[in-house]
Amino acid sequence: MVVPYKHEPFTDFTVEENRQLMQEALKKVEADLGKEYPLIIGGERITTEEKIVSVNPADRNEVIGYVSKANKELAEKAMKVADETFETYWRKSDPKFRADILFRAAAIVRRRKHEFSAHLVKEGGKPWKEADADTAEAIDFLEYYGRQMLKIKDGAEVNSRPIEYNQFNYIPLGVGLVISPWNFLFAIMAGTTVAAMVTGNTVLLKPASATPVIAYKFMEVLEEAGLPAGVINYIPGPGSEVGDYLVDHPRTRFVSFTGSREVGTRIFERAAVVQEGQKWLKRTIIEMGGKDTIVVDNESDLELAAQSIVQSAFGFSGQKCSACSRAVIHEDVYDQVKDRVVELTNELSAGDPKDNSHFMGPVIDQGAYDKIMNYIEIGKQEGELLAGGTGDDSTGWFVNPTVFGDVDPDARLMQEEIFGPVVGLTKAKDFDHAIEIANNTEYGLTGAVITNNRTHLEQARRDFHVGNLYFNRGCTAAIVGYQPFGGFNMSGTDSKAGGPDYLIQHMQGKTTSEML
């Protein structure tokens, strides 16, 4: 019997034993740096001359690994393997067998939890707490989706008449292209991959070019857990070559993507084109980010409000699609909240996350650093710089937590996704005005409301249009199975990862009716 699902507990690093275990894991990972990693197609390790060089964003001279780079020819080879594996074997495999692979993989990751977290510190630049949460979420996806598959494997109940026997079942789609992001380099990569696999599809996994090594490490876990060759094929490579080729491919049945609005809308558009020889409409499962708002009412715990804004804005250097990048504060309490946000922000520091003495680590690469610093310059024209506004890219890519005040709700700083440690504050005349400003964006991913007014909470429940809405807490840190995650509008296709209907998006319904 499978025990009921509970989310993986987080590690308390104030406990000396846990700190020592993490330090040991970091030493183990550091001894493993600089290795070469091949592609995996049909279980075959393939080495290419061209490499993706994965570096530590906190120390650009430290190479995490050299990863073989796929091209169109190898992408085609992977497609043929995945297509054949699906048709001849995997689509007919026992759902319980597939779920068991997830449960075994979860047990392997759990035993090596600190080792994976240490890798996230190095390859992703994550502080210990953020890395531990990422690893825990990866375990959660494995455990939760395994149980969800066991729930839906026999289909759904439908009615039958005395003259017939009717059944409704879910069947897999085919070959899925999974394009995973660099920010939750373990959790989202693992979750999107196993959701596609456990539902009976075969997978072409193209991890983010900034963080491909952790995806290879996960492939090793799945192989150890009993995953047959050819079911998941590891093909890191450039989106402009490998990504476009496979999105367009007539044998691609669905695309699962997490990343920017720009790339997500492009994939959505390309996948809609019916190619020669294609006999289905491709499905897209897309999550594209947000411009997330915390609303602070005049009847609220102002310390909670300030803490929520700072934690949500600057956790993992604001590199979360759920990060608070806008705070809309009732004018009666604006100055008090603003002053406390600035105080709390000035207590934070950004530095190498290896030693766990900094709240923030680096941003992911030079492109991200340049983009964020450019937005800070824009912010100086659009609002009052209250904290931060500086960065240092001499050894790694560090941007100090930055707060702008009195920003117009229509300013670029308040409308465009920055994906960095920058938050803008603005005033609202009343609660109606605050909700109006909160909805004044093309995104709709997360939001939070801080208030002790029950009427206002119910109004927000009805009118604040986001996929994940939180009351009297920050707007980040959704937990698999507890707060299914995904957004509206330009935040994506409302594919609620870690939710009860997520797996079904990787399947199609089939009705059979037998006359008696």
- Catalytically active residues are 287, 321
Mapping DSSP onto H, E and C, the string for 187-223 reads: HHHHHHHHHHHHCCCEEEEECCCCCCHHHHHHHHHHH
First to last CA, the chain: 35
Q: Which amino acid is at 361?
A: G
Cα dihedral angle (482, 484, 485, 490), rounded to 10 degrees?
A: -150
Rounded distance, CA 280 to CA 255, Å? 13
Rounded distance, CA 327 to CA 325, Å? 7
Rounded distance, CA 22 to CA 116, Å? 10
Rounded distance, CA 472 to CA 424, Å? 19
Which pair of tokens denotes residue 404? 């702008």
CB 303 within 8 A of CB 348: no
Rounded distance, CA 80 to CA 251, Å? 9
CA–CA–CA angle 38, 249, 42 (5° rounding): 30
Query: With the C-alpha atoms ordered 309, 421, 290, 443, is the resulting torsion angle positive or negative?
Result: positive
